[in-house]
Amino acid sequence: SSTLLNENGVTEWTPVFYESHPAREFCVQYGESDLAFLTRLWSEEGIFYFDWHAPQGAAQKLVLCDDVAGVSTLGEMPFNPDTDTEVSTMCI
């Protein structure tokens, strides 16, 4: 993962893993984009990803998690279920 992420300019990323995910001995990427390939591998391992944005400033990084508990380690994330309204506070 790190090689493809770096080759695609993703230098800020953090794994938040509760299980071990050893390197595969053999894996083929054929006829799929780098994103599709990584998404396929991560989903086979039970890994999901999201962008984390700093509360202040423009800092942002990709976070890889294999357990929903990993999301809580990143601090508070406001949630707005009403997608039809404009909000003044950043939220998910």
Alpha-carbon torsion (7, 11, 13, 14), positive or negative? positive
Annotated domain spans of the chain = 2-74
Q: Tell me the β-bridge partners of 49.
A: 64
CATH label, 2-74, candidates 3.55.50.10, 3.10.580.10, 3.30.70.141, 3.50.50.60: 3.55.50.10
The per-residue pLDDT for 85 is: 66
Model pLDDT, residue 65: 93
79, amino acid identity: F
Q: What pLDDT score does 19 carry?
A: 93
Model pTM above 0.85? no
pLDDT recorded at residue 60: 84
Q: What is the pLDDT of residue 39?
A: 95
Per-residue tokens: 14? 């953090």
Q: Which parts of the chain register pLDDT below 50?
A: none
Q: What pLDDT is attached to residue 28?
A: 94
pLDDT at 89: 61
